[in-house]
Chain A
Amino acid sequence: MVNDFFDNWTVQVRKGLLEFCILNALADRECYGYELVKALVLVPGLGVTEGTLYPLLSRLRVQGLISARLEESSEGPARKYYALTKEGRAIMGAMNDYLEVLTESTRKLQKGVLT
């Protein structure tokens, strides 16, 4: 019962953080899909699979938060490079601010400090 509760809770947290992680992964430079997915899969606790990430990337692109471009590669199949759009960067900033405030408040709460 306790385990089920925890599992459900982590799924909800992870689900909420996936888009946040993707946007932050693209904050500094554009990445191609395979590289990005491999990096995110390795994030501890995120517990995400490639099969999950590609639909998310597509949805973010459809929402206009990231852009994509194809480039032929001599090392294998063509690579799709993702980058933040202006809108995506703004959202990412807002998300970061929001999460920072939320984390700070949560910590304060953990320390018993009530506002």
Chain B
Amino acid sequence: MNHWTDSARAKLEGYFAEMRRNLKASGADVEEVVDDLRRHVEQETAVRNLRVVTEQDVGQILARIGGPETAVAVAEPEARVQERGRTDGEGVTKPPGWWLLFFGVVLPLGAIIFEFLTGACAGVLFDPLPTVGHLALTLFVPAANFVVWRNIRRGQLQAATRLGWANGVAIGIALIYGLLFLPFTPFALLGVLVYGLGLVPLSPLLSLVVAIMLRDLLRSAVRPAGPPPGLWRGLGVGAFLVCLFTVPLVLTNIGLQMAVSDSFAESTRGVKLLRAWGEDKELLRACYGRSGRAGEIYSWGRPINPETARAVYYRVHGRAFNSVPPPKLYAGRARWSMLEQEFTWDNDQGGDAVAGRVRGLSLVSSRQDGFVDADAALAYLEWTLEFKNDSPLRREARAQIALPPGGVVSRLTLWINGEECEAAFGGRSQVKTAYKEVVHARRDPVLVTTCGPDLVLVQCFPVPAAGGKMKVRLGITTPLTLTSLETGRLRWPCFVERNFSVPQEFRHSVWVETRQSLEAAAKGMIATQTKPGNYQVRGEITDTDLCDARTSLSVGRDPRIRQCWTRDTRADAEPIVRQIMEEKPVATPKRILLVVDGTEGMEACYPAVAAALKHLPPEADFGLLLARDGCEELVPLQKANPALCKTAADRLLKSKSLGGHDNVPALIRAWDLAAESNGGAIVWIHASQPMLLENAEALRQRFERHSNPPRLIDLQTVVGPNRVVEKLDGIEAVQLMPRNADLATDLQRFFSSWNGRSTKITLVRERASAGTTEASGRETSLHLARLWAREEVLRLGSKRLNSDALELASRYQLVTPVSGAVVLETKAQYERADLKPVPPESVPAVPEPSVAALLLVACALLGRRLGRRRR
């Protein structure tokens, strides 16, 4: 390629202008001659190897060619040409007009930019630019039109083949878009005629017309060489590319329809299709109750129920739909994105599930304050949470929170107009009804109820719109997990599932004090001794670390203290609650069924599980089930031995995990096998179970009806909801495996504890009469009484003594399976719900006031009241 100076170019064009005038009546095709001469000149410059073509060079070449007037020498009189006529029907190529540039380039380009910036069409009709590929293809149309238009106008047709192809592809793309917009064309035409508006929807069709006209002009311009190539093939390529980028959307909708089929085989094929070709965002939109507008075109009017779509999403990806940020439901951008905010309702508001993420709702501050009494193996934590809502609608913040094992919510506070308001504790349905009524009235309530073992659901409404905030506090009383008599561990309460976002850079601020030495394993936390006998751990911790068992707090304790007690101010008789630490032998199960989840992501856990298998007790029967598309028996039940354990490990390591799987069939199979002999145990190692694909009632029935059911030891490898265990709430045989370290270590320790020689420390809490216990133990706080009350409530609940259980839970202000806590805004609301907020002096605090201090406060309040009466 050589470079032409402007003057050289001008000289050549001047020559051609003269040539055009001279050849008008020559009988030759003027533009063809100009093209031929241009090509000839370029060939000359190439032969002369000119890198820069100057005016002088052009002058020399043109001198050789001969002046424009020489052509006249061979010109045929126009009369003769006319006399002979144009038998081939071709005329001299006219340069394309400026109107073609406007309708073929400026208008479509403007329409694309407008749509990209505003998403106007996406907001009200359908999304014409659902992917970057679609955007690139639509931009290609005005680009190709412009290049063809310019080259014809300049007569630069050397690359006619490429121009022909570009034009063909542009026609193909414009044709598809023209067809998509065809139904709206009459309205657009009407708009143009009546209001002078509507050119944007017409732009695909207009650019198609222009592309076809440019094709004709191009054909005329290169006529001597025959029609330019690439019309039909280019058209095919353009149309194919549009379809190619649209295929995932179409396949997603086909896959979704198949996946929700009643036929298992069809449904499985649908899930496989979605795994291979599904458009993730489209699937996610279906989980929020509507497909994207673009997708609606391809769903053939058969909407999918959001709940069903959520189950499909889990089966496809192996994770909950609400574990990722919500998709844009409308494709509107800029001002049109108001549609997104104004009309995206939270359909689960006031419901019983965390459900989908709510756009604009986020956690802005979180602090955990607490104290640990390691000698009494208990702790009290207060978790203060503040939510912010940037959306234009008032929102409900919902979260499922995992409490430390054995923990219970013993305090709930809501800030209303800057003042702390304590909760009322009442029956589960009573507090829920009160909450829902107030949510309906759009006032300020907060509700906490249990939703599974060591799980609570927190609901706060309303987080005010447009940047408004809402602040709540949960008080949690919890026992420590004793790994030995010398050490207790405290796991942090954490979010299992939430409908608000937690920014990646967000940190929870924690501050825990104790009289015993402690260690903090989490990054960003420091443990210090502030003065003799007073230790603290504080720092900032990420949301991920908060959920990690390895970051739990380790506190040293005096192993000689095996008994402690507290004076229970809420009890009329037997005012002492004592706790005795007993070492009991660990019962070795005779039959062990290992159920391993085949859900995506579990593959990374298989090596840890496989490594732990060699620690299984050799005397027991052992079977290995894989919960994948039903139940796969990797190792049938038989006597465990090292060879069998190795075989099981090998088979497990060879297994692949893909998508999400229903674990209930495998658990039922494991239960049936384990229940064949007494003392069976099922160890269930699994990922999060956000969807209950099959009813768990059959499993619950087995546990409820069997007099001595096998134990189900639940080990969840990642934080997240577990709908199966939620359904098994209150079943004593269901136990959570204690987590203190990484998966391999915890599993090995657990399996090793079945060696027949191991013991475990059990905390036995009971009531006692005054004077019998004090001397033989250490006094501790009222939290011991709360922990006793929690156990008692569960015991009464299992005996179906619900009213007794509720009375006890309300008296001790606890959130249990029979009771909940709610904060309402006004006294009238409490009266209407027949609830009474707890007096502020009765709630726990950090640090927990001693009984003496409480008596002093009570005396002071009494004195003040008496003084007022006298005045």
Query: Footprint of B on A, CB under 8 Å?
Result: 11, 15, 18, 33-34, 37, 49-52, 54-59, 61-64, 68-70, 72, 75-80
Main SS of the interface on chain B?
helix
Query: A49 near B161 (CB under 8 angstroms)?
Result: no
For residue A79, which residues in chain B have a CB less than 8 angstroms away from its CB?
Answer: 39
CA distance A76 to B84 in the complex (A): 37
B420 at the interface (CB under 8 A from A): no
B396 at the interface (CB under 8 A from A): no
Query: B43 near A59 (CB under 8 angstroms)?
Result: no
Query: B225 near A72 (CB under 8 angstroms)?
Result: no
B870 at the interface (CB under 8 A from A): no
For residue B47, which residues in chain A have a CB less than 8 angstroms away from its CB?
Answer: 76
- Indicate the member of A51, A63, A76, A79 with the most B CB atoms within 10 Å: A51
Query: A49 near B64 (CB under 8 angstroms)?
Result: yes
Query: B225 near A51 (CB under 8 angstroms)?
Result: no
B158 at the interface (CB under 8 A from A): yes
CA distance A69 to B29 in the complex (A): 15
For residue B27, which residues in chain A have a CB less than 8 angstroms away from its CB?
Answer: 59, 62
Shortest Cβ distance from residue B760 to the other chain A in the assembled complex, whole angstroms: 83
CA distance A31 to B73 in the complex (A): 24
Other-chain contact of B161, A56, A72, A80 (Cβ < 8 Å): A72
| Binary flags per residue of B811-849, CB closer than 8 Å to A gives 1, else 0 | 000000000000000000000000000000000000000
Given known A-B contacts A34-B43, A76-B46, A55 and B160 have beta carbons under 8 A apart? no
Other-chain contact of B74, A15, A63, A64, A78 (Cβ < 8 Å): A15
Closest residue of A by beta carbon distance from B69: A51
Query: A62 near B28 (CB under 8 angstroms)?
Result: yes
Query: A77 near B46 (CB under 8 angstroms)?
Result: yes
Query: B29 near A52 (CB under 8 angstroms)?
Result: no
Query: A50 near B73 (CB under 8 angstroms)?
Result: no
B147 at the interface (CB under 8 A from A): no
Query: B36 near A57 (CB under 8 angstroms)?
Result: yes
For residue B68, which residues in chain A have a CB less than 8 angstroms away from its CB?
Answer: 51
B87 at the interface (CB under 8 A from A): yes
A-B contact pairs, 13 of them (CB 8 A): A15-B73, A18-B74, A33-B36, A49-B70, A51-B71, A54-B33, A56-B28, A62-B28, A68-B225, A69-B225, A70-B161, A76-B43, A77-B39
Closest residue of B by beta carbon distance from A60: B28
Query: B73 near A11 (CB under 8 angstroms)?
Result: yes
Other-chain contact of A77, B42, B76, B86 (Cβ < 8 Å): B42
Shortest Cβ distance from residue A45 to the other chain B in the assembled complex, whole angstroms: 16
Query: A58 near B36 (CB under 8 angstroms)?
Result: yes
CA distance A64 to B86 in the complex (A): 11
A11-B73, A78-B160 known; 11 new pairs, CB 8 Å cut-off, are: A37-B40, A51-B37, A54-B33, A55-B28, A59-B26, A62-B29, A62-B88, A64-B87, A76-B43, A78-B159, A80-B36
Closest residue of A by beta carbon distance from B160: A70
CA distance A64 to B67 in the complex (A): 27
For residue A33, which residues in chain B have a CB less than 8 angstroms away from its CB?
Answer: 36, 39-40
B66 at the interface (CB under 8 A from A): yes
Shortest Cβ distance from residue B438 to the other chain A in the assembled complex, whole angstroms: 77
For residue A78, which residues in chain B have a CB less than 8 angstroms away from its CB?
Answer: 39, 158-161
For residue B10, which residues in chain A have a CB less than 8 angstroms away from its CB?
Answer: none
Instruction: Please provide the chain B residues from 2 to 24 with a CB less than 8 Å away from any CB of chain A in the complex.
Output: 19, 23
| Binary flags per residue of B217-232, CB closer than 8 Å to A gives 1, else 0 | 0000010111000000
Given known A-B contacts A62-B29, A80-B36, A51 and B76 have beta carbons under 8 A apart? no
Shortest Cβ distance from residue A66 to the other chain B in the assembled complex, whole angstroms: 9
Total A-B contacts with CB atoms under 8 angstroms apart: 104
Other-chain contact of A55, B23, B64, B224 (Cβ < 8 Å): B23
| Binary flags per residue of B41-77, CB closer than 8 Å to A gives 1, else 0 | 0110011000000000000000011111011011110
For residue A62, which residues in chain B have a CB less than 8 angstroms away from its CB?
Answer: 27-29, 86, 88, 90
Query: A34 near B70 (CB under 8 angstroms)?
Result: no
Query: A77 near B88 (CB under 8 angstroms)?
Result: no
Query: B88 near A64 (CB under 8 angstroms)?
Result: yes
B32 at the interface (CB under 8 A from A): yes
CA distance A11 to B73 in the complex (A): 9
Query: B66 near A51 (CB under 8 angstroms)?
Result: yes
For residue B87, which residues in chain A have a CB less than 8 angstroms away from its CB?
Answer: 64
Shortest Cβ distance from residue A62 to the other chain B in the assembled complex, whole angstroms: 6
Other-chain contact of B37, A18, A50, A56, A72 (Cβ < 8 Å): A50
For residue A63, which residues in chain B have a CB less than 8 angstroms away from its CB?
Answer: 84
Other-chain contact of B32, A49, A58, A72 (Cβ < 8 Å): A58
CA distance A62 to B26 in the complex (A): 11
Shortest Cβ distance from residue B703 to the other chain A in the assembled complex, whole angstroms: 78
Query: A55 near B26 (CB under 8 angstroms)?
Result: yes
Other-chain contact of A52, B39, B73, B161 (Cβ < 8 Å): B73
Shortest Cβ distance from residue A47 to the other chain B in the assembled complex, whole angstroms: 10
Other-chain contact of A54, B37, B73, B86 (Cβ < 8 Å): B37
For residue A69, which residues in chain B have a CB less than 8 angstroms away from its CB?
Answer: 224-226
Query: A55 near B46 (CB under 8 angstroms)?
Result: no
Query: A58 near B28 (CB under 8 angstroms)?
Result: yes
Other-chain contact of B225, A50, A59, A77, A80 (Cβ < 8 Å): A80
Instruction: Please provide the chain B residues from 205 to 256 with a CB less than 8 Å away from any CB of chain A in the complex.
Output: 222, 224-226
CA distance A61 to B239 in the complex (A): 36
For residue A61, which residues in chain B have a CB less than 8 angstroms away from its CB?
Answer: 29, 32, 224
Closest 7 CB pairs of A and B: A49-B66, A70-B225, A51-B66, A58-B28, A76-B46, A68-B224, A55-B28
CA distance A57 to B39 in the complex (A): 14
For residue A59, which residues in chain B have a CB less than 8 angstroms away from its CB?
Answer: 26-28, 76
Shortest Cβ distance from residue A93 to the other chain B in the assembled complex, whole angstroms: 21
